Every structure is written in structure tokens, then in C-alpha cells.
Chains A and B, each alone.
Chain A
């Protein structure tokens, strides 16, 4: 390293310090505090100098590192190795993943907490796979996906609490309702693409949430719906003491009562739902409608010139994506036994979109990896309380820096003329 370089990077870091000072000075340095009457300013120059110092030092280190061209070498080799493994052996990876997911509840270290996190990750995987149809395949950026999740959850909750129908009847109904709302959203946005579409879908998500808050007579407003029936194991409820003349899960199988039974059941339920979503997506991608979705993402005008009806194609994508969101929503309702509009805020949509985009648009395995990575990291840092969102943001930045196209960004043709070359 030349002496010149050091001086140059030192100057550069001093400049960074200047910017940091301009930013932190007013924001951190001048703190307002209320003492008795009115507000007073308490300066905190010590903290400001600490922060500015950190910025200068950080910038200096980055400069020196990049001059040496050794920056992040470990990271890039790691990530390239990682992707080469998963790309070559996507199938093996999927099978091992499913096997692991199947035996996961019975592993020795699996406790209640792990199961809860696993259920949460699986819910996000399912939502990610559902949204992947809309964003990954059809290329329609939907920032209001949580609306369909909410519609599914509320349909299930309302039908189950009003009519007392079982989970297995309500589940398809919730899916249908969500699909209907998918079409409802689809119609006004048919002519929009890209940023404009994103804004309208974002608005749609908020509309649904605000309706849920304000339509008190039906949705019970911000108080939410309580006492949503739990799912039963083919008619056998998970209760400690079943009603007169009724069998419960543990008495039927002659087991000791444990709350884990229900958790394990829920785990398998969401696993099966997610796998159905995945199987369906992989299948439909190879059908004409799936190819039309991808063609629409590539070039809408070319689609029209070939006689592909863009309206129907877009609406089916919205409807099917929404349907899976609805399924996931009813699962969420039955798991929590309580839902309120609080659970369906924009941040949920943002997380799901992040999972799809960071996983690599259209990649099914990518969604799994991104869900585990993003949800897992926020869980690991749960002890840090409010700072765990920094970990979430950091994870996103890391993926964007090292894998700008997403963790897995390879697309395989849906049909091959010459067979698999591998």
C-alpha cells in the first residue's frame, strides 16, 4: 500500500466524518427534554463525537481494505460455493429439506419454542410461495399481499365462530374468498405495471386493514375475534378433558395428555399446506397458463401480438396467489385462536415481498432459504428486543450486497427439447 493511498483514504474518511457530524449533530446532539413547563434542549456532544469518530474509523478501515482488494473475499467465495452446491443439487436439497422437516418435531433438541419458530417460518414459506406466483412468475409487484392473508384469516374466523363449521370446510371457503378478493384487486390494476401497480396494491392492503378496523358490527373492529375454534384431528379435538361421550386425541390413541400434540399437529398441517402450494406452483408453471404468466412478465405487448389474453392471464395469477394467501390466513387464525387487524400491517407484506425478492424471483428453494434466513435471524436476536429489526435490515443488506439477484436466481426452462444435459 502506498503512502499516497493512506493519505487519500484518510482525507476521504474525514469528509465522511463531516457528513456524519452534519447528520448526527442536530439529530442526536440536540435532545429535547421537558422539564416542568416547556421544552428544553440538552446537548449531548459526547455521543455525537463518539458516533462521528466511529464513522471516520469505519470509513478509513473500509478504504484501506478495498485498496488491498481483499475485501470480503471470504464472503464471496462462501456465497459462490453455496450457490454452486444448491444449483447443482437443487433436487437433493429439496428432498433432504422435506425429510428434515418431517422428522423435525421428534428430534431430541426440539422444544416448544423451536416448534413455534418452525411453524412461523413455514407460514412465511407458504406465503412466499403463494406470492411467488404473482411476483416471481407473473412479474406483478404486489405490495398488499397481506390483504389476502387477512381475508383468509377473517373468513375462517367469522365462518367458524358464526356457523361452527369445521376447519376442513372453512379452509377451502377462506381460499375462495381470498381468490375473489384477488380478482377484485386485479380488475382495477390490469393496466398498471411496475411502480404504479406496487402503489395501488399497497393501498389495497391498507384499505382491507382499515375496513377490518372500522366495520365493527362484523369484524369486531380493533378488538379482533376471539375464541376461534382449534382444528381437530379428523374430528378428534386436542382437549385435556373431552366432553361427555366425546373422544379427544389423547384418549383415542391412549396417550398421556400433552399440549405438544396440538403444536405438532399444527406443524404438520402448515407443512402439508406449504408443500401443496409448492407442488401446485411447480406443476402450473409447466402448463400453458404458467408459461403465459412468465411471458407476460417478459413482454406484455409481445403476448398480445401472439393472441395471449393478458386480462385473463393476470387475473388468474392474482386469484391463485391470493387463494394460497387465504389458506395461510385461515391456518394463522386457527393457530392463534385470536386475530385482530394488528396482525395484518404493511410490514407483513414487506417481509413477504422481501422473502420472494431476496430468495431470487421465481425460485421456490430460494423462498425457503430466505424465510429461514430472515425469520431465523430476527428470532435469534429476539433478546435484543427493538434492535432485532436492525438484524433484519442487516440480513437484507447482506443478501443485496453479495447476491443482488437473490439467493438463488437461476431459472430452468419449463420444458426441454433435448432432455437434461446434466
Chain B
């Protein structure tokens, strides 16, 4: 299995605080890689570096494409999603609450639609070429809504959905930008067991059907152990363990990091 993402000697300092310390790991194509660790271990900081919200102090992050590799350091801000095709979701859901579910999914396809609408010119003239493209975007939205079973609520405000549905909507919204790598920040937080089972199904579907690599931060071990192909454990910004889910469960370092050391 080929590498999708390689993180090399990544360090992020905030003043004197070292949030990530010389972290290296790989994520492979068509796999779900989980990053776990106690609170404050630096998991979300890794995500923020990967998705352009922070600029890492030192270190490199590469996204491997067909035959060349792209350095993610070159892209900041919105370009990570637009050019490098790395999508993310947030720990505290960030939907557009006062916009409808369908509109949320259309905003995710903004850049294609913007070109299709001739930077609004064709759109204002109501040309057929634009209307066709818009219909395609709606079809794509419908495809994803069918998968998460939210099609009947497509015209309701996203903020009015139940919490679990909002989580799923945020994930499929990120999928609408057709990412190479999908970064999910605690997607199972606040979900009940039934909802996290549904989430597992959705993530497996994305992995196998969409051939998208997934990077996952999660505290819910039923999710992590159920679907991860590879687990990276962080503590105090350092990688303390790396391996399969089974190996992780048995690892002495991991247990110590979570439960403390015997006196």
C-alpha cells in the first residue's frame, strides 16, 4: 500500500510551549489512520498544521499524488482545501446553521460553481451551461444526502438538524470538495452508540468506495478500534506508539499514558 501523507519531523511551538515535538508518521492510501492520545496531547494541533490553520515551526508534510509529492507547507488557509484537496471537519461542528442542508453542500462546491457561473456573469445571464452545472452540483449533493439519509430534510436549515445528523452532514460536506485526504476531528464526540455505529459505516464507505484516505482524531475507542487500520498515539506532543489497533490495545506505553504508571 502506497503512502498518501508523510509527516516528517513536524514541530510546532507556541512561545515556549512545544505542542508537537519532532513528530513523524505516514498515512496510507485507502486506509483509516487514527491519531489518539490524552487531552492536550497535540492532536488537534497536528490537524491545524496539516490543514493550513497553523504554520509549523519546523518539519515537512507531503501529500503524495500520482507521481509527485506536494508539500503542504506551501499552501495556507483556503488553498489547502482548494488546491491540495485536504478537507477537514471540526471538533465543535462548523456548519452554516442558518442555511439549508442543500446550500451547505453547494458552498462546498463553490470553486467549481464559481467557474461554471463565469464568476457570476453567466449566472446573471442565466445561461444553460451554468444551470446544467448547478444541476450537477445538486445531484452530487443528493448522492451524499441519500447515503446519510438526509434527503427528505434537504431544504431545512442545517442548524435545525439533530446533533448526530449535523456531524454526518459536516463529513459529507467535506466530501463534496472531492478530497484526497479527509481529516476528521472527533467525529464521534457526543454521539450515542447507534449514531457512532452509523458513523463507522459511513467512514468505511468513504474508505472503500471513494478511495479517500482518512485521518481521524478520536476519543471514542469503539470507533477507533472498530475501523482504524493504523493507530498513532501521541502524548505531550510526542509519538509514543504506532501500530495496528490490536497492537495498540496491548501496548504498555499507551496504557501508561492513559492510566498513569504504577508506583
Residue positions of A touching B, CB distance < 8 A = 280, 283-284, 286-289, 291-292, 294-295, 298-299, 301-310, 411, 413-418, 421
A320 and chain B: residue at smallest CB distance: B120
B106 adjacent to A291 (CB under 8 Å): yes
B124 adjacent to A306 (CB under 8 Å): no
Contacts of A306 in B (CB 8 A): 78, 81, 87, 107-108, 110, 173-174, 177
Contacts of A303 in B (CB 8 A): 78, 107
Contacts of B103 in A (CB 8 A): 291, 294-295, 413-415
B78 adjacent to A304 (CB under 8 Å): yes
A299 adjacent to B110 (CB under 8 Å): no
A417 and chain B: residue at smallest CB distance: B154
B123, CB-defined interface residue at 8 Å: yes
Task: Find A413's partner among B79, B82, B94, B99 (CB 8 Å cutoff).
Answer: B99
Given A303-B78, A305-B87, A418-B155: A287 touches B96 (CB 8 Å cut-off): no
B94 adjacent to A302 (CB under 8 Å): yes
Q: How far is the CB of A39 from chain B (nearest CB, A)?
A: 57
In the bound assembly, the distance between CA atoms of A287 and B155 in angstroms comes to 17
B142, CB-defined interface residue at 8 Å: yes
For the side of the interface on B, what is the size category? 35 or more
B124 adjacent to A415 (CB under 8 Å): no
In the bound assembly, the distance between CA atoms of A328 and B174 in angstroms comes to 41
B99 adjacent to A416 (CB under 8 Å): no
A418 adjacent to B154 (CB under 8 Å): yes
Q: How far is the CB of A243 from chain B (nearest CB, A)?
A: 41
Contacts of A289 in B (CB 8 A): 114, 117, 119-120
Contacts of B81 in A (CB 8 A): 304-307
In the bound assembly, the distance between CA atoms of A290 and B142 in angstroms comes to 21
B88, CB-defined interface residue at 8 Å: yes
Given A288-B114, A298-B99, A417-B154: A308 touches B107 (CB 8 Å cut-off): yes
Task: Find A291's partner among B87, B98, B99, B141 (CB 8 Å cutoff).
Answer: B99
A299 adjacent to B95 (CB under 8 Å): yes
Q: How far is the CB of B238 from chain A (nearest CB, A)?
A: 27
Contacts of B173 in A (CB 8 A): 306
B65, CB-defined interface residue at 8 Å: no
Q: How far is the CB of B94 from chain A (nearest CB, A)?
A: 4
B29, CB-defined interface residue at 8 Å: no
In the bound assembly, the distance between CA atoms of A129 and B141 in angstroms comes to 31
A306 and chain B: residue at smallest CB distance: B108
A309 adjacent to B82 (CB under 8 Å): yes
In the bound assembly, the distance between CA atoms of A421 and B177 in angstroms comes to 30
Interface string of B51-65 (1 = CB under 8 A from A): 111000000000000
B138, CB-defined interface residue at 8 Å: yes
Contacts of A417 in B (CB 8 A): 102, 138, 141-142, 151, 154-155
Contacts of A294 in B (CB 8 A): 96, 98-99, 103
Given A288-B123, A310-B78: A305 touches B174 (CB 8 Å cut-off): yes
Contacts of A302 in B (CB 8 A): 90, 94-96
In the bound assembly, the distance between CA atoms of A303 and B83 in angstroms comes to 14
Interface string of B32-58 (1 = CB under 8 A from A): 000000000000000000011100000
